[in-house]
Amino acid sequence: MGDGALCGARAVCGARVNVRAVRTPGPGDLEHAWRAVSAVLPPTPVVASGLAPGALLKLETFQPTGSFKVRGALAALAALPDGGPAVTASAGNHGLGMGFAASRARRGAGVEVTVVVPTGASQAKLDGIGAFPVRLVRHGTTYEEAEAHAMGLPGTYVSPYNDPAVIAGQGTIGRELDGQADGPLTVVAPVGGGGLVAGLCLWAGLRGGVRVVGVESARSRGVSASVAAGRVVEVPVGDTIADGLAGNLEAGSVTPGMLAGTARLTSVTDAEIRAALRRLFREHGLVAEGSGAAGVAAVLAGKVEAEGRLAVIVSGRNITASAYARALSGG
C-alpha cells in the first residue's frame, strides 16, 4: 500500500492492539498549518482545463517533492514538541514530504525523522527519501508490518493521514484556492486514507459554497466503507496503478467521520485512471502518477456532478518511467 492508508493499528497476525487517540483538527489547526506551509512553499499553480467550462486543475505535481504530501509533513513537524523526534511509515510521497520538511527544520540541528518502509517499496521513491536527512529503516514485506514497527519506535508517530496537523496541512490547498478560484466550487481530490479530503472539508466548512468530491480506487474502498458503517472497517484491497490510494485504514482513524455528511465519495477503475493520465499528457504535457490522476479520471468518466466551478486536484507525479510508459501506451 502507498500513503493513502496504512493499517498498522493491528498486529501482523490480525490481533487488535490499542487504538491511538487522535484529535480531530479544527480551524485553529488550519491556521497554524497555513503559517507553517506558506512560509516555505509558494502556491501551486492552477491551469484552465477542457474537462468542463471554466474547469481548473490545481497542480500539486509542482511541489518540490512531486506531491501534496509535503504540506502535511511541514505542518506536522512544525507542531512537534520542541526537540522531539518524529517517526512515520511510508514507501512514497509522505516519506518524501517528511524528508523535505526535516531538511527545512530550523530548530537547532533540526528534527530527527525516522521513515520506516517495507522491503518491497519502490526503489525510485526510496532513493528520493534517502536523499533527505532522515533515518531510513526497512522492515517487513507489507505496509501494515512497516507501520506496526514504526508505531513501536521512540518518537512522535506522524500518520500520513490520521493526524490533525497533517490533515490541516493538506487543507492549505483550499487556502490557496481562496485566491485562485472565486465563487462556488466543486473540488475533486483523491482518497486513500482520507487526509487530503478531510483537510479540504475542514477548509470548505470555513469558506462556504464548496462541494468536496473524493475519489477512491475501485480496488480499495476502505474510506467509503467506513463512512457507510460509521466506524473503520476492513475491505479487500487489490493491486492498482493508484498505489497511493490502496490499503485499509488505521483503526479509529478520524478521517471517515470528517468526511461523513460533508464529502461525496466515488471511485474509478485502473482503466479510467490510465485514460486520465493520457489526457493530462496530451492536453497539458503533464506527468501524473495513478493516484494523482484519480480526480481527472472521475470527471472524464462522468462520475462528478459539479456545482459551480470545477477544480480538480492533480495530487502527485511520482511514477516510475516504466509504469508511465505502459499507461500512455494503453497497457
Distance CA 298, CA 55 (A): 14
Distance CA 231, CA 233 (A): 6
What backbone torsions phi and psi does residue 188 show, to the nearest 5 degrees?
-115, 130
Q: What is the set of active-site residues?
A: 69, 315
CB atoms within 10 A of CB 61: 23
CB atoms within 10 A of CB 109: 8
CB 129 within 8 Å of CB 99: yes
Distance CA 155, CA 152 (A): 9
Distance CA 153, CA 82 (A): 18
Distance CA 95, CA 101 (A): 10
How is the beta sheet containing 86-89 ordered, strand by strand?
135-138, 113-117, 86-89, 156-157
Helix (H) or strand (E) holding 287: none
Q: How far is CA 289 from the centre of its chain?
A: 12
